[in-house]
């Protein structure tokens, strides 16, 4: 969950800052569920990776952990990261990690109200925001070096001396509930389906609830729950200070001294158990009033950036469904040749808010990931055919692997594309923090080196190792859920009608797809009313 607050001065000042940096800048803060917080205009030397911490390591840190990237930029970027997140939510208090971060980034300090903070940041054209995931909570802000002292004095108070006022708590808690009830359940079929897929796969586990929590748990949370979470988890043991830009000599030491006032605490870093899913395909159909059918499907994979096969599987995911790209295989087969929808993509890492952005956010580090296929909404009458088409193409990928031509083209693309992912100062810092978490070198260097040595055999072996699954989970969001369930269980063909002529090759393939077997029994297909999701 990301929360964003933006209060800036004139567009002219922002433009001057951007021209001064001579680089692309981004905006970061807390996004859903509220546009509250304080959101900045964002504008390197690489740190060596930290050794991977042992599970449950609770030792007092010899020194505060940090990733520092000093350079000559007139902008200074902060990413203050705590290795804690929604996986640390106590049972029955799901959502308290996100609520705590939002209250810090979108509330006042002990000496300043939220409105006073907004007014103070306005002339600096800057802001402050937070993002919460399963194992990471990060606070981000960027300011011009001329305003560094004033800006830092505010954000350090927000993090080290939060006000935790009842009025801020009530406002932000309402925002979080509305995000689940209105934004996700009521107005975004695609993000609803993707998030429900994760809940389905990790049900009963620390990963098994939305980062924002559930409506029932949020309604019961109190300000004391937030205070307790802050005291227990906002500690030196969980802290990694990230800074980049033209900050003066000695400034990093001041920051470390200030954050050394946090309690030492214990590290939240620990090993999470992988889900033990029952064999066979399981389908959840979310019933809500909508004019289309959204589809998400996937299964757990035992792989992260820390694993040697990550670059190989990254090539596969890019080839099969590069995010928001018209060059990927799925896009070509489902959209380009058949005109089914707006796009079709595949992922091996958590990628929230994909419909709003072209690149993934940093600091979503997880030790448990899934392979996910995201099918953007289709007309309801084409829903079953499209599901069958996605399964058909997935099975074909596992059966046939990649060709030499596809492998070489995708590998060459990724070697360049990875530079785009870290094209801003803020992104470079974020990826450096992630590399530290995964225990790998600088991301660009690491990927370039591994990709240059990769072979077609490596890639096709990775497909067989990680993507051959008998535990597919599927989530569909549609209006007539019962009819779709009946159609799936009947096994009857689901022919498709086009508005324009298609090639004979496509028509012949469609005959195979329309009868493609979905191997499920009645107990494997469940209809869920939308008001029960995230409840």
Nearest Cα residue to 514 out of 498, 487, 495, 497: 495
Q: What is the pLDDT of residue 35?
A: 38
Distance separating alpha carbons of residues 142 and 111, to the nearest angstrom: 22
Q: Which tokens belong to 63?
A: 């020194």
Distance separating alpha carbons of residues 30 and 41, to the nearest angstrom: 13
Rg (the chain; Cα; Å): 24
| 325-377 tens-digit pLDDT | 999 999 999 999 999 999 999 999 999 999 999 999 999 999 999 999 999 99
Q: What is the pLDDT of residue 204?
A: 97
Nearest Cα residue to 242 out of 427, 30, 54, 72: 427
Sorting pLDDT into bands at 50, 70 and 90, what band is 466? very high
Sorting pLDDT into bands at 50, 70 and 90, what band is 63? confident
Tokens 């209060």, residue located: 7
| 142-162 tens-digit pLDDT | 999 999 999 999 999 999 999
| 174-228 tens-digit pLDDT | 999 999 999 999 989 999 999 999 999 999 999 999 999 999 999 999 999 999 9
Distance separating alpha carbons of residues 342 and 350, to the nearest angstrom: 21
Sheet of strand 137-144, all strands in order from the earlier edge strand to the far edge: 2-3, 129-132, 137-144, 75-82, 239-245, 65-70
Distance separating alpha carbons of residues 133 and 428, to the nearest angstrom: 19
Phi and psi, residue 292, nearest 5°: -140, 180
DSSP-assigned beta bridge partners for residue 284: 475, 526
| 233-276 tens-digit pLDDT | 999 999 999 999 999 999 999 999 999 999 999 999 999 999 99
How large is the average pLDDT for residues 469-494? 98
392, 459 contact by CB (below 8 A): no
Q: Which tokens belong to 132?
A: 């919460």
How large is the average pLDDT for residues 418-428? 97
Spell out a b/e string for 343-378, using b for 16 or more CB atoms within 10 Å of the CB, else e: bbbbbbbbbbebeeeebbbbbbbbbbbbbbbbbbbb
Q: Which tokens belong to 80?
A: 């203050």
Spell out a b/e string for 139-163, using b for 16 or more CB atoms within 10 Å of the CB, else e: bbbbbbbeebeebbebbbbbbeebb
Provide CB contacts within 8 A for 222, sequence distance 6+: none
Within 10 angstroms of residue 327's Cβ, the number of other Cβ atoms is 13
294, 534 contact by CB (below 8 A): no
Asked whether the predicted pLDDT for residue 3 surpasses 80, the reply is: no
What is the pTM assigned to this prediction?
Answer: 0.89
Distance separating alpha carbons of residues 478 and 182, to the nearest angstrom: 17
What domains can be seen in the chain, in order of their start residue? 2-44+62-259 (3.30.830.10), 294-480 (3.30.830.10)
Longest distance between any two alpha carbons in the chain, whole Å: 72
């Amino acid at each position: 969950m990301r929360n964003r607050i933006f209060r800036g001065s004139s567009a002219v000042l922002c433009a001057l800052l951007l021209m001064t940096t001579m680089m692309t800048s981004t905006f970061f803060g807390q996004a859903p569920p509220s546009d509250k917080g304080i959101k900045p205009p964002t504008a390197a030397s690489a740190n060596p990776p930290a050794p991977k911490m042992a599970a449950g390591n609770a030792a007092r840190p010899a020194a505060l952990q940090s990733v520092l990237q000093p350079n000559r930029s007139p902008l200074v970027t902060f990413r203050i990261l705590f290795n804690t997140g929604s996986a640390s939510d106590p049972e029955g208090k799901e959502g308290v990690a996100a609520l705590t971060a939002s209250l810090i980034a979108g509330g006042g300090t002990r000496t300043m109200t939220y409105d006073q903070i907004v007014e103070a940041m306005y002339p600096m054209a800057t802001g402050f925001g937070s993002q919460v995931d399963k194992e990471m909570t990060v606070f981000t802000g960027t300011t011009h070096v001329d305003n560094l002292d004033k800006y830092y004095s505010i954000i350090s108070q927000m993090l080290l001396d939060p006000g935790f006022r009842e009025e801020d708590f009530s406002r932000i808690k309402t925002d979080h509930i509305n995000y689940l009830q209105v934004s996700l359940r009521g107005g975004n079929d695609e993000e609803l389906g993707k998030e429900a897929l994760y809940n389905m796969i990790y049900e009963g586990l620390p990963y098994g609830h939305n980062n924002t929590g559930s409506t029932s748990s949020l309604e019961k949370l109190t300000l004391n729950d937030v205070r307790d979470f802050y005291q227990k988890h906002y500690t030196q043991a969980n802290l990694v200070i990230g800074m980049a830009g033209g900050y003066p000599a000695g400034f990093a030491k001041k920051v470390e001294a200030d954050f050394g006032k946090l309690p030492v605490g214990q590290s939240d870093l620990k090993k999470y158990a992988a889900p033990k899913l029952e064999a066979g395909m399981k389908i959840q159909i979310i019933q809500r009033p909508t004019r289309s059918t959204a589809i998400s499907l996937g299964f757990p994979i035992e792989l992260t950036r820390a694993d040697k096969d990550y670059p190989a599987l990254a090539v596969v995911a890019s080839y099969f469904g590069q995010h928001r790209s018209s060059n990927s295989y799925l896009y070509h087969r489902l959209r380009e040749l058949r005109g089914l929808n707006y796009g079709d993509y595949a992922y091996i890492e958590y990628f929230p808010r994909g419909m709003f952005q072209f690149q993934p956010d940093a600091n979503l580090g997880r030790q448990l990931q899934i392979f996910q296929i995201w099918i953007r909404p289709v007309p309801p009458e084409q829903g079953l055919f499209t599901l069958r088409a996605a399964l058909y193409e997935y099975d074909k990928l596992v059966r046939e692997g990649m060709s030499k031509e596809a492998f070489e083209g995708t590998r060459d693309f990724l070697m360049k594309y990875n530079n785009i992912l870290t094209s801003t100062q803020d992104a470079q810092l974020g990826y450096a923090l992630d590399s530290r978490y995964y225990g790998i070198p600088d991301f660009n260097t690491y990927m370039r080196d591994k990709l240059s040595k990769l072979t077609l055999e490596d890639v096709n072996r990775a497909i067989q190792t990680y993507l051959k699954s008998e535990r597919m989970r599927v989530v569909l969001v549609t209006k007539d859920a019962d009819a779709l369930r009946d159609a799936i269980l009947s096994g009857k063909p689901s022919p498709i009608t086009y508005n324009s002529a298609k090639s004979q090759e496509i028509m012949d393939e469609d005959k195979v797809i329309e009868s493609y077997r979905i191997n499920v029994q009645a107990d494997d297909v469940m209809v869920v009313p939308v008001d029960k999701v995230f409840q």
